[in-house]
Amino acid sequence: MRIILLGPPGAGKGTQAQSISNKYSIPQISTGDIFRKNITDGTELGILAKSYMDKGLLVPDNVTIDLVKNRLKEKDTEKGFLLDGFPRTIHQAEVLEALLSEHQVALDVALQIEVPREFIVMRMTGRRVCPSCGASYHLEFNPPMLESICDDCGSKLIQRKDDKRETVEERLEIYDFQTLPLIEYYTKKGKLKTVDGTKAINEVFEEIIKILGEANDHHKESAGN
């Protein structure tokens, strides 16, 4: 299975990506992981990427693309992969399509986890964490017994900067600008499938498995013709 995972910040992509990776025995590949590994390993591309990140700049498209290309050449991707965070733009999607075509394989599905904007804002801004023991809570879905106090160690809970409303809104705006055009792109390609990310985690996963099963059946039929 060759899968792209799409969805805004806070849609629950990370949780579902891990479950998909485990079920289908394919690597979960995120640009963040690729950056970190190449920086740790001191590769030429990693050093180049770090030079931009240290300045607070976005890693240029060509560097990101080269890093992903190198990752997709590794042996563990031969039977498939799950891409999370790439492609982010139409250009990246076109490069990926050309790369797969070179190896005479194709994308099976672009899987979108759809969650309404206000639901994401509520989900992310409600998060609280304990700075002492690392326990996590949610004001609505998993509140502490005592307001703002960690159940485990009694420390005062905090809200991370990434979970503040203005930060969440900014990230969603960037997503809309960069990534929403991909929805139209993969719809036209007949590759887009959408699941309702507001459901319980296990229900979302069940829906995903059904979609991927149908995509896999279609792939086998195409290969047989």
Catalytic residues: 13, 88, 127, 160, 171
Task: Yes or no: say if 193 and 211 are a contact pair by the CB < 8 Å rule.
Answer: yes
> For residue 187, which amino acid is it?
T
> For residue 213, which amino acid is it?
G
CA angle 206, 207, 210 (to 5 degrees): 90
Strands (E), the chain: 2-6, 28-30, 81-84, 109-114, 127-129, 136-138, 192-196
- C-alpha span between 99 and 223 (Å, rounded): 19
